[in-house]
Homo-oligomer: A and B are copies of this chain.
Amino acid sequence: MQTSNATIPITDRAPKCSTCSIGQLCLPVGMSAQDVEKMDALVQDRVRVRKGDTLFRLGDPLVALYAIRFGTLKTHVTMEDGRSQVTGFYLPGEVVGFDGLQQMKHTSDATALEDTEVCVVRYDEMQRISASLPSLQHQFMRLMSKEITQDQVMLITLGSMRAEERLAGFLVNLSERLAARGYSPSEFVLRMSREEIGSYLGLKLETVSRLFSRFAEAGLIQVRQRHVKLIDMAGIRQVFGRGC
């Protein structure tokens, strides 16, 4: 599995927010149909990223934000001593890259967990268009705010919760996000390894594996490798809820 920055531009047909099937989960959320049409000018390109490849890397100049059309990404940072931490998982309709706007440089790596396609939202275009489209400006603020809120939930998760609470929270969160995208909330395939889950949750992969086994033993879930079935959603929420 290579880790090169091998992205493949897609040019066959112009992507349009106004006709995109996941529009209502993505940038256009809550915008009027009129306004969404104006956005079509914003997204000129799409890019495909193969499993294991990176969409961008820490330090790359930021020229665009990326909205996921299909696939899954993780963002992660590697420290000098080699320790690495996953800072986020991103599903279709979610937008990646907001962290780099301050320095106009990306502050993490973004790697595809499966073959993934993203819409390229050029930042300069976005600024230009949103000057005459206040709802777009507000929209970006909202998305960034959502990212901040999400990060702060993770801060509480990592700072105050015990291992089993963290994993339960992870499953609940993933379930809800998948459900919002029309997938089953109770049965899904994890796109990330135990190690990546552990990294995201501040745990070691063995701990994650043990917890999956313990949850299964308690009748909360069924697991076989990366295939997960949530059996007792209320029970899972309760484990999570003990700490939230």
Residues of A within 8 A of B (CB): 77, 79-81, 83, 85, 87, 98-102, 107-108, 127, 130-131, 134, 137-138, 140-149, 151-152, 154-156, 158-160, 199-202, 241-244
Main secondary structure of the interface of A (DSSP, over half): helix
* Neighbouring B residues of A242 by C-beta, 8 Å: 81
Q: Nearest chain B CB to A186's CB is how many angstroms away?
A: 25
Q: Nearest chain B CB to A107's CB is how many angstroms away?
A: 5
CB <8 Å contact, B99 and A148: yes
Q: Nearest chain B CB to A240's CB is how many angstroms away?
A: 11
* Neighbouring B residues of A130 by C-beta, 8 Å: 137
* Neighbouring B residues of A131 by C-beta, 8 Å: 131, 134, 137
Known: A127-B134, A155-B85. A79 touches B147 (CB 8 A): no
Residue of B at shortest CB range from A166? Answer: B159
Q: Nearest chain B CB to A163's CB is how many angstroms away?
A: 12
CB <8 Å contact, A79 and B243: yes
CB <8 Å contact, B148 and A98: yes
* Neighbouring B residues of A156 by C-beta, 8 Å: 77, 79, 85, 87
Residue of B at shortest CB range from A200? Answer: B159
Residue of B at shortest CB range from A140? Answer: B141
Q: How far is the CA of A244 from the CA of B85 in the complex (A)?
A: 11
Residue of B at shortest CB range from A87? Answer: B152
Sample of 9 more A-B contacts, CB < 8 Å, known A81-B242, A83-B160: A79-B160, A85-B159, A99-B152, A100-B145, A101-B142, A102-B145, A107-B152, A127-B138, A159-B201
